[in-house]
Structure 1
């Protein structure tokens, strides 16, 4: 219970006394900013499966780039672009649904990643574990700069495309009639999703980035209704989960990325509990008001 009995030592000192914890905090917050704004549309459009596919789809690019000594970030970006292009190609050049194309490419890219990983000598398995689950405590200034650029691109892209994304999400026919080119807007959203996944894999790992894409936005959607408020709330909730996860990891020597991801899920269940409690408390008042209105009309 040190977080209550000695809050300064538990909450503040790790960030003021450890440079790697400060870098980890900045990396976590940039990850939250990048994933939460894009994740809002992932949740609202029901694209969770697509987000998961992208998270796994970057793995062959990362593995191949590492083996040949190339930038793993560029390798991940190339794999994400290939995934987006493949989904677009199958969707528009065949009668198959987008869900089917995502499933096929999900399996194909994951299988390719396993083939590439198993072809090496095995000496790099530790680094591949970092790519799978993240190594936020090993983030350096170069990584932070790349994350800052990705966060800026994601936020600007979401702001510029907000109207098109909004109309496309709730009425694609209306978007087409209004000349908003929903296919182009969808491609832009796929691009932003790819950028957010690539920018975040070193922080939380490609297997855990889905938690930051989905959980904060899903939690926010339980608490507020308007899309901009969902985004702001998602960023705030993601930041809270990231800070708590980092501190728990620091004090109890657990995996940082997994602990932060778990914190986002715990917050979701807290929000579900809170909304159900509030709904139960308000139900008698609503029923009494409805009964009074019915009595007055009679």
Structure 2
């Protein structure tokens, strides 16, 4: 069992495991709503749209998390404004802002010749470089997002399955949608440190999608998704250690592989 335990004798691997699990649980809880509500494109756009803010923050010497939060906030608000003012569909507004923010980020990056390493960390994360302060941030975000999800569970359920009924019951589906977008934004922003802006979508979607193969109940989907996410983090870090691959990419690959395994196993196991 040395192959399993030896990598985690090192402090940086212990922090990587703990930080990755915290991010995975956060993304599994919020990602359940993303999968059920069909908001995968928005999650991906938010993750990619953080690039200009993070790039500006890194170049200016500010905390990257601040830039990520600002960019994600612009994306979240901008989608609603563009879709209402321009009379465009929600998906079209997301696509336009996604491309615009991503191209702006690349343009900012292209202005700096010494930015290659920072861009790699932004896009693919630095899970092996997680610090104690990052762990505290992830832990606080997890507690806050779980609390918000529990508090808004009823309007979120009504919004996801029947918005007209939600409106009839006075649950304010538009406000619930805004709250859900804010939760997705917060999960993406706080988790990108672990696996980067391009790969955070894997933890947001894959564990919840794998869990949905086995259960239709939302609380059990969240719990099973959190377990799948933790397994993906463990498997990804072991793969990274023994195969010498990038940590964030290994975690994302393991998460997607769990979906394939779940789909295959569910086809074999009788319902």
Bin the TM-score by the shorter chain: over 0.9
**2:246 corresponds to:** 255
Aligned-residue offset at 1:92 = 2.8
Shift of 1:11: 1.4
Measure, in 2, the Cα distance between the counterparts of 1:184 and 1:107: 26
Match of 1:96 among 67, 71, 88: 88
Find the partner of 1:224 among 190, 211, 215: 215
Question: How big is each residue's C-alpha offset from its partner over 1:55-107, in whole Å with a ceiling of 9 and x where there is no partner?
Answer: 10111100011111111101000000000000111233332110111011011
Give the number of the structure whose alpha-carbon radius of gyration is greater: 1
Measured in 2, the distance between the counterparts of 1:189 and 1:147 equals 19
Distance 1:153 1:187 in 2: 17
Unaligned segments of structure 2, at least 5 residues? none
* Structure 1 unmatched ranges of 5 or more: 1-6, 283-298
Does structure 1 conserve the Cα–Cα contact (< 8 Å) formed by 2:109 and 2:115? no
Deviations 1:262-290 (A, max 9, x none): 011111111111111124xx7xxxxxxxx
| Residue 200 of structure 1: aligned partner | 191
Q: TM-score by structure 1 length?
A: 0.89
Structure 1 moving runs of 4+ over 6 Å: none
Task: Give TM-score scaled by structure 2 length.
Answer: 0.98
Alignment of structure 1 residues 154-173 onto 2, 5 Å: 154-173=145-164
Match of 1:79 in 2: 71
Q: What is the CA RMSD across the aligned residues, in angstroms?
A: 1.0
**How far apart are 1:124 and its partner, in Å?**
2.3
Q: Per the alignment, in what secondary structure is the counterpart of residue 206 of structure 1?
A: helix
CA distance in 2, matches of 1:60, 1:146: 22
Determine the C-alpha separation between the residues in 1 that align with 2:7 and 2:170: 52
Residues 22-171 of structure 1 aligned to structure 2 (within 5 Å): 22-120=14-112, 122-171=113-162
Partner SS for 2:242:
helix
Q: Please name the residue that 2:261 is paired with.
A: 270
Check the 8 A contact 2:125/2:196 in 1, yes or no.
yes
Aligned length: 271
In structure 2, C-alpha distance between the alignment counterparts of 1:212 and 1:278, rounded to whole Å: 25
CA shift for structure 1 position 164:
0.7
* TM superposition shift of 1:251: 1.6
Tell me, yes or no, if structure 1 residue 12 matches structure 2 residue 29. no
Post-superposition offset of 1:112 = 0.6
Q: CA deviation at 1:190?
A: 0.9
Which string of whole-angstrom CA distances, capped at 9 and with x for unpartnered residues, describes residues 236-284 of structure 1? 01101110111111122110110111011111111111111124xx7xx
